[in-house]
Structure 1
Amino acid sequence: MSLQTQVMDAMKTAMKSKDVQALEALRAVKSALLLAQTATGSKEEISEEEEIKILQKQVKQRKDSAAIYKQQEREDLAAPELAQAAIIEQFLPKQLSAEEVAKVVDAIIAETGADSMKDMGKVMGMANGKLAGKADGKTISSVVKDRLS
């Protein structure tokens, strides 16, 4: 089942249960997916990697907004943003823990022979490729820095 179909099914469920938070988040996801699909000018489905990137971007936007609201002591605005992020995260693949990311990064370092911070770009490129959608960039970057320094 494609991601768009899953989102539509979840939207129907949210409409029936009158869940405003879920409906708003799912409509934003649907809109972002449609924009990405029509941006290329084709009617073809977008790839799974692109779908995951779009969902990650949606989650990041909501978490960033929530952080700003919390800095301004606006919990009434931060809570809905975090709730929407949690709803969108349900459609993402399970995120790897820092230990699991470290194992992959160690394998990449051994494979490339990286031994200093000069090699960080090479290691990050390979790690981002292997861990796309499974871990966020901040986690990958911090593990790579720890291993190379």
Structure 2
Amino acid sequence: MSLQVQIMDEIKTAMRAKDTVALEALRAIKSEMLLAATASGSKEELTADDEVKLLQRLVKTRKESARIFTEQNRPDLAEPELAQVAVIEKFLPAQLSEEEVEAVVAKIIAETGASGIASMGKVMGLASAQLGGTAEGKTISAIVKKLLV
């Protein structure tokens, strides 16, 4: 079942359950997918990778908003953002732990013979491609930096 069909089914379920937080998050996903699909110069349909990147971007913006709201002492606004993150993350592939990411990055470094911070870009490119949507770029970057220094 495609992600769009899955989202539509979840929207119907959330409407029946009167779950406003889930409904807001699902509508945001639907809206972003529609915008990405109709953007000028885009392909006819979103690929699975495009969908994962889109979902990761939504999670990232919501987490950032929640962090800002928390810093501004507005937990009433931070809580719905974090609840929406939980809804959106249901559609993302399972995230790898830091240990698993570190093992993959160490393997890439061993294969490429990379050493020193100068080869970080090369390792990051390979690691990002291999790990796809299973790890955040920030996590990958931190681990690559730690292993190369």
Runs of 4 or more off by more than 6 Å in structure 1? none
Measure the CA separation in 1 of the matches of 2:26 and 2:19: 11
Aligned partner of 1:141 in structure 2 is 141
State the shift of 1:42 in Å.
6.5
Aligned pairs for 1:63-74 (under 5 A) are: 63-74=63-74
Deviation at 1:40, TM superposition (A): 4.5
Q: What do residues 3-27 of structure 1 show as CA deviations (whole Å, max 9, x unaligned)?
A: 0011101000000000000000000
TM-score normalised to structure 2 length: 0.97
Tell me how far 1:41 sits from its aligned partner. 5.6
CA distance in 2, matches of 1:94, 1:109: 24
CA distance in 2, matches of 1:88, 1:15: 16
Following the alignment from structure 1 to structure 2, what is the Cα–Cα distance between the partners of residues 43 and 107? 34
CA RMSD of aligned residues (A): 1.1
Rate the CA distance shift 1:10–1:107 in 2: closer, same or farther, 3 A. same
Which blocks of at least 5 consecutive residues in structure 2 are unaligned? none
Offset, 1:74: 0.2
Q: Tell me the equivalent position of 1:52.
A: 52
- Using structure 1 for the length normalisation, give the TM-score: 0.97
Aligned to 1:130: 130
Aligned letter for 1:19? D
Partner of 1:39: 39
**Aligned partner of 2:34: which letter?**
L
Q: Are the counterparts in 1 of residues 36 and 42 from structure 2 also a CA contact under 8 Å?
A: no
SS of the residue 2:24 aligns to = helix
In structure 1, stretches of 5+ residues that fail to align are none
